[in-house]
Amino acid sequence: MIAVIAAMDSEVSAIVSKMNAEAKKIQGIEFYEGTLENKDVVVMKSGVGKGNAAMSTTILLEHYPVEQIVNIGTAGGLKENENILDAVLSERVVQHDFDTSPIDGEAGIGLYYDADPKLLAICEAALKDLDVTVHKGLVASGDQFIAGEATKNLCDKFPDAMCAEMEAGAIAQVSAHYQVPFVILRSLSDVACKPDSHMDFQEYVKHASERSAMFTQELMRRL
């Protein structure tokens, strides 16, 4: 079974609309189990922040025989060569707000998790076939909305970070604990170093949700 963890209600709805799915609620978390492109799939909304994402992903893995996790959602871009609605795929994920450096030195800055190379390659091929611009690299994850001075601090601390968001670090950590391969895909809602790069949020949500559903369907064809 393949799990798709989405960030927004609209993304979940767009994906589920393409499935023959049955809704089920466990400990307050809604799951949609069914088939897509002849693959067994369960779709779940993560909730905002690492705490919600860790809780919901744990419930997911305790109740479903998940073999692969694909997490889709939104992030803020951190590189000049990025644009709104570009996609970022995780080669690695870091919890950028994890810091035990007063005790452990530099080794205590950030918790890192590696995405599955096979899943990464399949996702990249699917996105390119959909004519989506793809960037690969480090996804920075933390319980903080990154803006202003926080953006500079993050980029100074993690210069390789391609984007910043709030759930992937927890999903990656729980996946690694359960030894389930994962990959993170983020659509960019804005780019920090381009102040004029913005889109009406409702318009962005519409485009992002449609793309997420198309991507998920294309990915299932390939898995």
Residue 200 to residue 125: CA distance in whole angstroms: 29
Q: Is 200 a catalytic residue?
A: no
Spatial separation of the C-alpha atoms in residues 63 and 6, rounded to whole Å = 18
Which residue has 């359960």 as its token pair? 178
How distant, in Å, are the alpha carbons of 69, 88, 164 from that of 161? 21, 10, 7
3-state helix, strand, coil in the chain (%, to 5): 40, 35, 25
Give me the DSSP letters along 19-51. SEEEEEEETTEEEEEEEETTEEEEEEE--SHHH
Phi, psi of 4 (to 5 degrees): -115, 115
Task: Indicate if 11 belongs to the active site.
Answer: yes
- Catalytic choice (9, 11, 40, 203): 11
* Three-class SS state of 68: strand
**Annotated active-site residue in 33, 82, 167, 190:** 190
Which residues participate in catalysis according to the annotation?
11, 190
